[in-house]
Amino acid sequence: MSRRTADHESPLHTDRSHVKRGPNRADYDRDRVDQILDASLFCTVAQSIEGQPFATPTCHWRDGDYLYWHGHAKARNLAPGQPVCINVTQFDGLVLARSAFHHSVNYRSVTLFGQAEAVTDPDEKARQLERFVDKIAPGRWPQLRPMNGPELKGTGVSRIRITEASCKVRAEGVNDDAEDVDWPVWAGVVPLQRQWGTPEQEREQPVGLTPPDPVELW
């Protein structure tokens, strides 16, 4: 990752996307935002309906300047025309300090603001769903039984333009108060590791069919 971008240098930085708490961990660098989005499969879409907030988890993918998510064609969180706030967070480890106050976690997080827009053109919707499958299992789409009309119609795809966003990252060791460093308790970082387990094949399958190569994406 490159140096921290000064807030005023990035068009992603607005009053709404400004990170007030822990501003030293915040950035508004588009490359960093894209890196975190692309390395993650899950986001949480927040929306407000008559003042009632809703938080819905879903999968996302990116195409250039847009972040896409999908759902049942009638799913609430497609939110066409509504303001949304989307958060993506990857948890990377526990930070165990010598005081409770300095306990923390390492993480990479992106928060996006924008207005959701439905993808209605069937060809573009199919193209985006291909990009989605390609993110999870590159090269798998042409091997699949082709998508049919009712399936395409039954799947909703929304997007927001990435114009207003922040990322917040903690990727470091313990930050204890200077007077606490000799306090007699173990201190350090416990990293979280993730990997794909052994693929569990569904029923007997013809010889020669193999699971897709794993992608580092979760």
Residue written as token pair 């879409």: 45
DSSP character at residue 161 = E
Residues 6+ apart with CB under 8 A from 39: 90, 108, 216, 217
CB of 30 to a copy of itself, least distance (A): 20
The one among 14, 30, 62, 141 contacting a copy of itself by CB under 8 A? 141
CB of 69 to a copy of itself, least distance (A): 13
Looking at the Cβ atoms of 10 and 126, the one nearer to a copy of itself is 126
User: Residue count at the site for a copy of itself (CB under 8 A)?
Assistant: 93
Which 80-139 positions form the footprint of a copy of itself (CB under 8 A)? 83-87, 89, 91, 93-94, 96, 98-101, 103, 105, 107, 109, 111, 113, 129-130, 133, 136-137
Cα–Cα distance measured from residue 92 to residue 200, given in angstroms and rounded to the nearest whole number: 26
CB of 149 to a copy of itself, least distance (A): 11
Which 19-48 positions form the footprint of a copy of itself (CB under 8 A)? 20-22, 41-42, 44-48
Written as one string, the DSSP assignment of 52-94 is EEEEEEEEEEEETTEEEEEEETT-GGG-TTSEEEEEEEEEEEE
